[in-house]
Amino acid sequence: MANVVLRLGYRTIKQILKKFNQIPCGVMMFLSKDRPNFVFEYEYIRVSSLELMANEIYDKNIGGSVAELGVYRGDFAKIINVAFPDRKLYLFDTFEGFDKRDINVELKNNYSTGKQDFSKTNVELVLNKMKNRQNCIVRKGFFPETAEGIGDTFSFVSIDCDLYEPMKKGLYFFYERLNNGGYIMLHDYNNKGYNGVKAALREFSKEKKVPYFPVCDVCGSAVIMKL
């Protein structure tokens, strides 16, 4: 597969897949669920895993808002917004890229270079992608300072901020407020470019005695379910 991508190029592969965007849905046609809003875009496994978690949350009547910590340009947040059309969606991000305080921790522990540029975004760009924009609550700035005053509980949270410090702070903040039966999905757990993610989750899991399981999506996510 890697050789095919190198020969054709990622953009060409993506264009080919988009022409057959209904095919992956057929793979899961025995789910006994209508799937009009979930087709292959860029990460089928990650999106379908979210879909199944959302189904569980609604089937079991698990209450709570949803959130994403690490929004960047909103491509996964817009899918969360569709998956939970009646829930408040909190969007936590600096919307300016990595904070220097978090980069310093990365460099000190050799977790990553911290050089990736995620500054090419803004609040309006993200909100314009949201089907249920009225549900979105933007918390712009440095986390967890941006979470002050929030009294909500949560049913689903995506943590995708790449770096050790915000990942670990996100785990502690949201797990405490996660309703039983709810999920936290961490992106980049098995991404060797962001070793702080794995360190953060393993430390949290050991301290809190919280199990998790890996997901075979593009960047190796991991999922926590609160019992």
Which domains does the chain possess? 1-40 (no CATH), 42-225 (3.40.50.150)
Give me the pLDDT at residue 43, please: 80
The pLDDT of residue 209: 98
Walk across the sheet containing 222-225 and list its strands: 136-140, 89-93, 65-69, 154-159, 178-186, 222-225, 213-214
The reported pLDDT for the residue numbered 204 is: 98
Spans in the chain with pLDDT lower than 50: 1-6, 20-24, 40
Q: If you write DSSP's letter for every residue of 155-224 in order, what string do you get? A: EEEEE---SHHHHHHHHHHHHHHEEEEEEEEETTTT-TT-HHHHHHHHHHHHHHT---EE--STT--EEE
Identify the residue whose tokens are 């609160």. 226
